[in-house]
Each structure stands twice: as C-alpha cells, then as structure tokens.
Amino acid sequence: MNLITKPSKDNIKIFVPMGLFLVSLSFLDVFVNAFFNFDLMAFLPSQLSYFLPLILGFIGFYLIRIEFSGVRPLDILNKNINSNNFNALLTLFTIFIIIKSIPPMLDWFILEANFVGNSKDDCTGDGACWVFIKVWFNRFMYGLYPDAEQWRINTAFLILFAVVGVSFFVSEKLKKYFILFLVFVFPFLGIKLISGGSFGLEYVESAAWGGLSLTFIISAFAILFCFPIGVILALGRRSSLPAIKYISIGFIELWRGVPLITVLFMSAVMFPMFLPDGTFIDKLIRVLIAITLFEAAYMAEVVRGGLQALPKGQYEAAKSLGMGYWRMNALIILPQALKLVIPGIANTLLALVKDTPLIFVVGLMELAGMIGLAKTNPKWLGMAMEGYVFAGLVFWVICYAMSRYSQNLEKKLSTER
Amino acid sequence: MIFKKFNIENKKARDLIPQAITVLALLSVIIYFATNAQINMGNRGISFGFGFLNQEASFDITFSMIEYDGSHSYGRAFLVGLLNTILVSVIGIFFATIMGVIVGISRLSDNYLIAKVAEWYVEIFRNIPLILQIFFWYFAALRALPLPENGISFYDISFLTIKGWYVPKFIWTNFNIFLLSVIAAFIAIYFITSYATKQREQFGKQIPTTIISLATLILIPLITFLFLGVSLTFEYPVLKQLSPTVFTYAGGVSIIPELIALALALSMYTATFIAENVRAGILGVGKGQKEAAASIGLNKNQILKLVVMPQALRIIIPPTTNQYLNLTKNSSLAAAIAYPDIVLVFAGTALMQTGRAIEIISITMLTYLTLSISISIFMNWYNKKMAIKEK
C-alpha cells in the first residue's frame, strides 16, 4: 500500500512524470489565464476552477518530492523549493503571484505605454505616459536653471566624472593629488562654474537650481563637510576633557533626537531671527548647513562605534611610541576605526542622499520637488504615477549602486587579523 | 618658550585651555544669537513668551482624535497634532514589526524563491527615499481608487474609496467595565506565568501557560459581556447622496487617505530595516546552540522558541529600537502630504499665523526629543530585562 501512495525511489518512473505534468499544467493554466485572459478550466464550476491550479500544483509537488532520488536536477529542485508541504504551497503562491503580476506591469510600462508625442493628448494608451518624462526631462535634471546655461552644470559634472575616472587608472602617487584636487579645489571650482557671476558667466541664483543636479550638489557638499565634523564630534565624545565631552554629547543627541524636517524648518524660519537684521544667507547655504550638521551627528555615532571597537592596546602602543593625541588619532586610531565602520558610513551617506528630497520644505526643488511641480501643471494633470515611478527608479539606481560599492569597498579593505 | 614649559609641566592647565576655549566659543555664539534674536523680535514688536498657546487658533484640522475646532486654543491644536503623530507612529511601528519579522525570517527560508523575493523586497524599498514612497502612495496609488459611489466594498461593512477608508465605528456601553476586565485579565496572566515559572524551576512541572493565558484573556472579558451589561454594537458606514453627483458615506469612522499613505509608506520602508535586524539576529545565534539544543532532544519548534529566539532577540532589540525612533521621526514627513501631524499643524499653520518662530520650533523639537528619549528609555528597560542573566 505504502509503495503505491508514497512517492519513493521505487516508483520514481511513474510519480515524477505525473507530478511534473500536474505542476506544468497548473502553471500553464495560470499563465494562459494571465497573459491571454483565457480560462483553460472554464468547463469546471467557477470556484473549483479558481483553486484548481493550486490543488494540481500541490499534488504535483507532493508526487515529485522524492528524497535522495539520485536524479540531480530533481534533488536540487526538491531541496530548494519543495522541501515540505508548506514550502511547496509558498512556492506555488509566489510563482502564481509573479505570473499574474507580469502582464499588467508589462502593459503599463511598455505595451500600452506612450513614448512618442509632445503633449498629454498624445497619450492615448491605458499604460504609462512616458511622454511626460520626455517633455519634462530637462526640468527634472536641471530644475529652473536657464536652458542656455545648462552646459555649465554638464561641464562641472563631466569634469568630476573625468577626474574620478582618470584617478582609477593613475599610479598611487598621482592618485593622492587627484583626491586632494577633488576634495579641496573642485567643489569650489564647480560651484563657481554653476553659480556664475564672474569670468563672464551669467549669475544664476540658487533658487533656480533644481532637479537631479541639485540632489547631487547637495549630497556632495553635505558628504564633504559632514565627514570631518562627524569625526571631530566622535573624538570629542570620547575625549577625557569633560567640557568637550558633554558639549559633544549634547550636540550629537540634540540633532539625533529631532527629525530632519524640523531642522530644515528651523533653518528656514528660525535661523534668520538669530542673525543681525538685514543679513541674508542664501537659502541653499542654510539648507546645506542644516543637512551637514544633522548628518554629522549620525556620522559621529558611527565613527564612535569604530573607536570603541578598537582594542585599548592600540592606544597604549601609540602613546608608548611617544605620539601625541592628534598624531595618535590621525595615524593609528582613525585609519583602523574608519575601516571597521565602512558599512555604517555608507549607510549614513545613503541616508543623506535619500534625505535630500526633504529640501522641498524651504522651497528648493530637486527631482521629487520638480515632479511635484510638473504634475500640478494644468496641461499635465494626472501624471503622478509616471513621475514618481521615474524618480523612484532614478533614486533606486543611485542608492543601490552606492550600497553595492560600499560592500565591495568593505571586502577590498578588510584585512585579516 | 614659556608657553611650551607651561604646557609640559602643568597637565591640569593644559587640559583646561581647550575646554575653556570651547566653552567660551559656544557661549559667545549663544549670546550673539540671543542678542540678535532679541533685537529682531523687538523690531517686529513681539516679545518672547508662551502666552499665545492660550489664544484662539481659528483654523481647522482635517483629522483629529479629540474634539477640536477653530475656537480651541493653539495649545489644543498642538495636542491634536501630537496625538496624530503618535497615532501614525504606533500604526507604523505595529505593521513594520510584523512585516519586518516575516520578511527577515523569509530571507533565511530554505525556499529559494521566498528568500529571493524577500531579498528583493528589502533591496527595492530600502533604496528609495521614504518621501518618494509617501508621494507614490498618496498622489499615485491611492488617487487611483474609485469614487465613493463605486467604493471597493468589504462585505458591505467597510468601504475603500478615494476619499479614505470607511470602517465601522465601535459603540460601547459600559466600556469602563470592559477595560477593567481586560486589565484584570492581564494581572491574572502575570500571576499565572510567575506561578508557572516557579513550578517549573522548583519541581520541573510544565504548565501550558500559553493556552491558559489565552483562555483567561478571552474568558474574563466575555463574562462582562454576558453578565455585567457590557455590549458592543457597530455603526456601519452607509452611502449617502449629497447632490445628484456627489456621494459620501455617513456613519462609521473615516480613515483619511493621508493616514493610509503615510502608515503604508512608513511601515513598508521601516520593515526593510527591521527585516535586516531580524536576519542578523537569527544568524548571530551560533550554530552550536542549535546543535546542542537538538542533541538534548528538543524538537524544531522548541529549539526556535527556547534557544534561538531568546538569544536572537538580544541582538535584534537595540537596532530595532533605533528603527522605531527613526519611524517616529520620519512620521514628520506627514507635512509633505498634509497629514495634520505636529509639524504641519504646529510648525506649519500655527507658526504662519502667529509668527512665533523661536517658541514654536523649540516646542516642536523638544517634543520630538521627549518622544525619542522616552522610547529609548523604555527600550533600554526592556533590553535590560532581556539581557543575559548570569546565575
């Protein structure tokens, strides 16, 4: 009896073809149903026909679940997706949901979508209206920056990419100078190029900056400044001098305890009250200061984690060599501590990039803000889905690349102890 | 020369100098800001003070858990905003935890497909800015819902429409008695579990506490329903025609789309981080622990419940606390879609009306600081309770 009902190595020749047939039948049913809107099992009562793929698939998976069958593909299949009844059900559900969701997604993104045209009227299909992205693409990238001057932003970013690209191929010795240039010279050169006002370049006020380029500008500057401030705060928090220690703690905990949006509100409405009457600091600079201080507090906590993880012997060894506080930290402690916390640093920087859209609070518009502006344009109402899917994709690519890069860096720099 | 000598010989003085410089610098910045603020406020004819909190707010709030209208004070408006912030944070934390645990465990599943799906869920939702996700749900996904007259109906007691989600309203009689009975049930459960622990530790007796606790939790409140006059009825939302083309639902409770979008985005985003914590926690329990547990004859469920989870929780809780804090702070993004949380109501509308930037921003920041600190104090307490007790 057991020989007939329970799948085993002895009856493999009957059970496996039967099981595979049932499983493929169930997939075929769902597939045909999803893609061609045709119900294979329509001759059955509706409720049964609805659940039939699940039942067939389940029985099929049960039949092919033969331990140590000796057939390699079957063993791999069983081990990975069919190890017991529960897993078989989960597998079926997952595959069904994936098959079911492909056609509507495909329709919306590509098949029913509109790619050609210049206005909303050209979008006749049911799918996405990518014309919207095409028409507004320039604005999404450069904000309200004048069209004629956009080459300046392009040039600045081209120089950046060129320098970064070249620095990968030059020798270690030259690389140092490239990095020094990137950190100390280029940011100010780039910002001068973009803002203009001298060398015959037309001045473009920061309120006109926007789009994805503003996301990059803000992220780059905030990263540049928040890193050293964070390191100093972390050292301050670990300092043996009480005044410095408690001021650092207070500073870090204050920023970490409040949301960025209130910090930005503060920079927009409260900070001007603290300045002498008539002084005006550019909106962009105020936002930059706010984001930098905010992220520096998070960076400080990450770096502190690294400092705490270092064994005491490292400090003692450095001191016994006669090193002072700064030399000890710069040459012995920080290089090791920072290496330990690369994932944390990467996460903080990622958070910083993901926080940039919040600058809408003070009226600056990067990519998400520009989409908000575009979708409220009377000629382009109802394009929110396309806009936010596009922005989500762009941000996703940036952030995913960053997190991948940090994982690689971590592997590269990890030294066996 | 003199300076150098002074430096080497007197360590105390050497330590004092940088500290004194820092404190002085900080003080001078504060004094500079304070005097400027005073001058600026003097110019505008406003004086620093919190008296405005008692003035009439004269603006309306779309969603409030307590009674509020324009005739109430700014203080009351603040309270409404605060309660809304807490509401969305609690909902977000609840769902983020459930989803995070499910996804985290799924990532470790033997099932290749499930593990991959969970991994991609984490990779996708973690790498898209939260504010974009909120915008997506609010401006794109929820706007695609039908109008009230064709709302998606759940067995005719609850309706999902573009204007929000209408759910039945609970109408209690003698709610206080019911509440007391629930509290009593929890107290009883506490005594039962401590008695069971004692029995187990002293005599090695196993008492099925889970079943007994569940029974207590159901039975005691049930008694109040049967004998003490507690009753619960529902008020269902009903479609009502306002004009030939405009429909709405009357009765029931309306959950506004802002709240749905915010809670959805917050919990889906935070769940990815919690999932990573859960995964790291379970992976952090050594393989030897599981093998040892199996070798003394515990079955799979017992291993998970008695050996793996208690140890994994210790690794999971501290970073998860941080995520709860982040979620609470992130709920301030509500301002972007006009969910009336504390930032929108108080730091937005109230500030625009009164112009009292310093007071209002300080109160808002202090509120968040208090919320953060109270969550971390509670979690530290819980963490200490869960920590390894050396015997």
C-alpha A208 chain-centroid distance: 26
Phi/psi of residue B175, nearest 5 degrees: -60, -35
* Domain annotation covers residue A396: yes
Q: Which two tokens stand for residue B259?
A: 């709240």
**Closest Cα in chain A, distance from residue B286 (Å):** 21
A361 CB neighbours in chain B (<8 A) are: 335
Indicate whether A40 and A134 sit together in one domain.
Answer: no
Which of A3-7, A258-262, B276-280 is least confident? Answer: A3-7
Q: Decide if B129 touches A, using CB distance below 8 A.
A: yes
pLDDT tens for B297-343 read: 888 888 888 888 888 888 888 888 888 888 999 999 988 888 888 88
pLDDT category, A4, cuts 50, 70, 90?
A: low
B329 in reach of chain A (CB within 8 A): yes
Instruction: Give me B169's structure tokens.
Output: 């309203």
pLDDT confidence of residue B389: 62
Classify residue A196: in a domain, yes or no: no
* A252 within some domain: yes
Across A88-105, average pLDDT:
88
Q: Is A135 found in the same domain as A94?
A: no
What average pLDDT does chain B have?
84
In a domain, B367, yes or no: yes
- Which structure tokens are listed for A329? 């930290």
In a domain, A140, yes or no: yes
Q: What are phi and psi of B36, to 5 degrees?
A: -60, -45
Q: pLDDT confidence of B124, banded at 50, 70, 90?
A: very high
Residues present in chain A in total: 417
What residues of chain A, 309 to 368, have a C-beta less than 8 Å from chain B? Answer: 350, 353-358, 360-361, 368
> Per-residue confidence at B1, pLDDT binned at 50, 70, 90?
very low
pLDDT of residue B158: 81
Q: Is A247 on the interface with B (CB under 8 A)?
A: yes
Domain count, chain A: 2
Question: What is the Cα gyration radius of chain B?
Answer: 28
Separation of CA B142 from chain center: 22
d(CA B276, CA B268): 13
- Long-range pairs of A144-149 with CB within 8 A, sequence gap ≥ 24: A144/A207, A144/A208, A144/A209, A144/A210, A144/A365, A145/A204, A145/A208, A145/A209, A145/A210, A145/A211, A145/A213, A146/A202, A146/A204, A146/A208, A149/A196, A149/A201, A149/A202, A149/A204
pLDDT tens digits, residue range A233-250? 999 988 888 888 899 988
CA A168/CA A181 separation, integer angstroms: 14
Is A188 within a domain? Answer: no
Q: Using H for helix, E for strand and C for coil, what is the string for A55-93? A: HHHHHHHHHHCCCCCCCHHHHHHHHHHCCCHHHHHHHHH
Range of the domain at A231: 130-145+204-413
> Is pLDDT of B2 > 80?
no
In a domain, A326, yes or no: yes
The closest alpha carbon to A151, from A193, A210, A199, belongs to A193
Domain membership of residue B256 (yes or no) is no
Assess whether B362 and B267 both reside in one domain: yes
Asked if residue B316 belongs to a domain, the reply is yes
Q: What is the gyration radius of the CA atoms in chain A, in angstroms?
A: 30
Q: Are residue A299 and residue A391 in the same domain, yes or no?
A: yes
Q: How confident is the model at residue A347 (pLDDT cuts 50, 70, 90)?
A: confident
Asked whether residue A312 carries a pLDDT value surpassing 90, the answer given is no
Buried b (16+ CB within 10 A) or exposed e, B105-137: bbbebebbbbeebbeebbeebbbbbbbbbbbbb
Residue B155: pLDDT over 80: no
The string of pLDDT tens digits covering residues A206-231 is 778 888 888 988 998 898 899 999 99
Q: Name the residue range of residue B80's domain.
A: 74-129+262-386
> Are the C-beta atoms of residues B255 and B91 closer than 8 Å to each other?
no
Confidence of residue A417 (pLDDT cuts 50, 70, 90): very low
Among B19, B111, B136, beta carbon nearest to A388: B136
Contact A389, A128 (CB under 8 A): yes
A328 is a domain residue? yes
* B322 shares its domain with B380: yes
Secondary-structure percent of chain A, ordered helix, strand, coil, rounded to 5: 75, 0, 20
Least Cα separation, residue B18 to chain A (angstroms): 8
CB A237 within 8 A of CB A296: no
Q: How many domains does chain B have?
A: 2
Instruction: State the pLDDT confidence band at A194, using cuts at 50, 70 and 90.
Output: confident
Residue of A nearest to B32 (CA): A274
Question: Which DSSP letter does residue A201 get?
Answer: P
Q: Length of chain B, please? A: 391
- The pLDDT score that the predictor gives to residue B387 is 67
Question: Are B17 and B95 members of one domain?
Answer: no
Q: Flag whether B33 is in a domain.
A: yes
Q: Is residue B82 part of a domain?
A: yes
Largest CA distance in chain A: 95
Q: Is A395 on the interface with B (CB under 8 A)?
A: yes
Give the pair of three-digit tokens for residue B272.
Answer: 């990815």
Q: What pLDDT was estimated at residue B219?
A: 84
Assess whether B297 and B377 both reside in one domain.
yes
Q: Could you tell me if A250 and A103 lie in one domain? A: no
The H or E element spanning position B166 is strand B164-167
- The CA distance from B317 to B327, in Å, is 15
What distance separates the 2 farthest-apart alpha carbons in chain B? 93
Residues A293 and A324 placed together within one structural domain of the fold? yes
Q: What is the mean pLDDT of chain A?
A: 84
Tell me whether residue B215 is in a domain: no
Q: How far apart are CA A416 and CA A407, in angstroms?
A: 16
Give this prediction's pTM. Answer: 0.87
At A366, is the secondary structure helix, strand, or coil? strand
The verdict on B187 touching A (C-beta cutoff 8 Å) is no
Cβ–Cβ contacts within 10 Å for residue A219, how many? Answer: 22
Residue A316 buriedness (CB in 10 A; 0-12 / 13-18 / 19+):
exposed
- Contact (Cβ atoms closer than 8 angstroms) between residue A92 and residue B113: no
- Phi, then psi, of B14 in degrees rounded to 5: -65, -40
The verdict on a CB contact (< 8 Å) between B110 and A372 is no
Nearest residue to B172 via CA among B236, B227, B250, B225: B225
Task: Give the residue from B15, B1, B40 showing the smallest Cα distance to A274.
Answer: B40
Same domain, B17 and B78: no
Is A156 a residue whose pLDDT tops 60? Answer: yes
Q: Does B343 touch chain A (CB under 8 A)?
A: yes
Q: How confident is the model at residue B96 (pLDDT cuts 50, 70, 90)?
A: very high
B46 pLDDT above the threshold of 90: no
What pLDDT is attached to residue B249?
A: 80
| Cross-sheet strand order for the sheet of B164-167 | B152-154, B158-161, B164-167, B253-255
- Write out pLDDT tens, residues B157-213: 788 888 888 888 888 777 788 888 889 889 998 998 898 888 888 887 777 888 888
Q: Within 13 Å of residue A330, how many CA atoms lie on the same side as its CB? A: 6
Do A138 and A49 belong together in one domain? no
| Predicted pLDDT of residue A3 | 53
Q: What percent of chain B has pLDDT over 70?
A: 96
Q: Region A278-295: what's the mean pLDDT?
A: 87
Select the more confidently predicted residue: A258 or A278: A258
Instruction: Based on the fold, state whether residues B94 and B7 are members of the same structural domain.
Output: no
CATH number assigned to the domain comprising residue B292: 1.10.3720.10
CB-nearest partner of B368 from A258, A274, A391 = A258
The whole-angstrom separation of Cα B337 and Cα B88 is 13
Do B94 and B12 share a domain, yes or no? no
pLDDT of amino acid B53 = 80
Residue A1's pLDDT is 46
Confidence band for B390, pLDDT divided at 50, 70 and 90: low
Smallest Cβ distance to A87: which of B39, B43, B110?
A: B110
Q: Are residues A55 and A141 in the same domain?
A: no
Q: Which residue has the higher pLDDT, A414 or B272?
A: B272
Same structural domain, B33 and B118:
no
Q: Are residues A337 and A274 in the same domain?
A: yes
At A327, which amino acid appears? R
Q: Are A297 and A251 in contact (CB under 8 A)?
A: yes
Both tokens of B262, joined, read: 């915010």
> Over 90: is that where the pLDDT of B271 sits?
yes
Which class for A4: exposed (0-12), middle (13-18), buried (19 or more C-beta within 10 A)?
A: exposed
In a domain, B343, yes or no: yes
Judge whether B191 lies within some domain.
Answer: no
Is the pLDDT at B242 greater than 80, yes or no? no
Q: Between chains, do B336 and A360 touch, taking CB under 8 Å as contact? A: yes
Kindly provide the b/e burial profile for residues A275-314, where b requires at least 16 CB atoms within 10 angstroms of the residue's own CB: eeeeeeeebbebbbbbbbbbbbbbbbbbbbebbeeeeeee
- The pLDDT score that the predictor gives to residue A150 is 79
Q: What is the pLDDT of residues B55-80, one digit of tens each?
A: 887 788 878 778 888 788 888 889 99
Residue A389 lies in a domain: yes
| CA atoms within 13 A of residue B344's CA, in its CB half-sphere | 22
Chain B residue numbers with beta carbons less than 8 Å from the beta carbon of A240 are 15
**Nearest-CB residue to B132 (from A244, A261, A368):** A368
Q: What is the pLDDT of residues A52-74, one digit of tens each?
A: 888 888 888 888 888 777 778 88
Cα–Cα distance for residue pair A182/A170, rounded to 1 Å: 15
